[in-house]
Amino acid sequence: MVAVNWRRIPTVLQPDELMDKAFSAATKKANLVDDPDKYHRVRKQMLAMIQSSCDILETTLRKWISKWPSLDRLSSFDAALVDAAVGRDEFKQNLGGIQWAADKINQLNREGQSRMAKHRSIEEFHDRRKHIYGRCASILRQVGPQLEWLNDARNIMREFPTIDTMDPCIVVAGSPNVGKSALISSLSTGEPEVNSYPFTTKTLHVGHFEHRRRNYQMVDTPGLLDRPMIERNEIEMQAIAALENVGSVAVFLLDPSEKGGTLMESQLNLLEEVKSLLGDTPVVLVDGKMDLLGLSEDDLVNPTSGNLAISATEGWGLDALRSYLIEIIGADIIGDPLTLPDGWHRKHIPE
């Protein structure tokens, strides 16, 4: 499936803003009408104003619908993100309200054109235009709550990461403040915020690195807590969406030093829950902050746990981890030497 660029979701105007836009454009349209006979000039002006205002309103509403991603066409990851952050049902219901408004305004446009043909006085022409304007305004106010919801949802979804399902994806999970953001910063081009307190990562961040012209994605998930699923907040649910839906491999980062504030017992309990969510997805256990326990760059494995050992702040163990992840994913294994793997980037060679 095609990756969604969430930042391209358009701004949603509120009823008064939308009416101002439509009615101002309609007035300009009417001013272009030229007929020496006042009766015919007013009739044409009122027709132009009805047609222009209704067209702008309907077109704008339908444009919003078309520019918003279709849930049926989203990847399982993107659909899970929407459900976790704004609600799948609410998403459909509020877009459905905008669809209803567009259909009603289309109906009003046709009604106004038809009724105008039956009027015989200048006063009736003006009254018909005012009637259509009033009906349009009423419809927009009816869907005002839907427009407000969509604009709020847009602001949330604009922060969603764009994941390309054609490229390998490495999900980094763990308890709060175990060093996930620092690891992503060190291994990839991503630059998530790194601070020394829990819940620094407020949303999902994506970093990248390249190997043999293939792009590898790394998803930095918000810190998860060792507690029941029903008690998890929106940020944690986004992390779970990543864990369940996109990972070619998962890195579970542990902090044996417990300097991040989470006891190893809780970290290991969370590890078991994460494994249950991942199914067949491979899980690589990595012990971070190993410089705090006296290990050095020569220690690639924690002798106590047998896990890979790194220090993102000191910069050691990272090349070994990257190589190990590439090997596990196996995205560049070539069965036929004359055929490149699916999704492998090809460089254009000028003729």
The pLDDT assigned to 198 comes to: 46
The pLDDT assigned to 84 comes to: 80
Domain 169-329 CATH assignment equals 1.10.287.70: no
Q: Which structure tokens are listed for 234? A: 């929106």
Residue boundaries of the structural domains of the chain: 8-157, 169-329
The pLDDT assigned to 195 comes to: 43
The pLDDT assigned to 273 comes to: 83
- pLDDT tens-place string over residues 238-273: 667 777 777 789 899 999 999 888 899 999 998 988
Q: For strand 214-220 and strand 205-211, is the pairing parallel, antiparallel, or unpaired?
A: antiparallel
Q: Is-above-0.85 flag for pTM? A: no
How many helices and strands in the chain, by DSSP H and E? 10, 6
Judge whether 8-157 and 169-329 match in fold: no
- pLDDT tens-place string over residues 73-97: 888 888 888 888 888 899 999 999 9
54 vs 27: CA distance, rounded Å: 12
Read off the DSSP letter of residue 172: E
The pLDDT assigned to 344 comes to: 54
Per-residue pLDDT of the chain (351 residues; tens, 9 = 90+): 567 888 889 899 999 999 999 999 999 999 999 999 999 999 999 999 999 999 999 999 999 999 998 888 888 888 888 888 888 899 999 999 999 999 999 999 999 989 988 898 999 999 999 999 999 999 999 999 999 999 999 998 888 888 887 888 898 888 888 888 888 888 876 554 444 444 445 566 788 888 887 889 888 777 666 666 666 666 667 667 777 777 789 899 999 999 888 899 999 998 988 888 788 889 999 999 888 888 887 888 888 899 999 988 888 889 999 999 999 988 766 556 556 555 555 555 555
DSSP β-bridge partners for residue 173: 252
Domain 8-157 CATH assignment equals 1.20.120.1190: yes
- pLDDT tens-place string over residues 185-227: 888 765 544 444 444 455 667 888 888 878 898 887 776 666 6
**Which DSSP string do the residues of 269-286 spell out, in sequence order?**
HHHHHHHHHHTTS-EEEE
The pLDDT assigned to 180 comes to: 86
Q: Please give the backbone phi and psi of residue 80, each rounded to the nearest 5 degrees, phi first.
A: -70, -35
Other beta carbons less than 10 A from residue 251's beta carbon? 27
Q: Tell me if residue 7 falls in helix, strand or coil.
A: helix
- Beta-carbon-side half-sphere exposure of residue 223 (alpha carbons within 13 Å): 25
The pLDDT assigned to 104 comes to: 97
Torsion of the alpha carbons at 258, 263, 268 and 274, rounded to the nearest 10 = -90
The pLDDT assigned to 153 comes to: 93
Instruction: Find all residues with CB under 8 Å of 290, minimum gap 6, and list them.
Output: 256, 299, 302, 309, 310, 311, 317
The pLDDT assigned to 186 comes to: 87
Q: Are 254 and 206 in contact (CB under 8 A)?
A: no
The pLDDT assigned to 124 comes to: 93
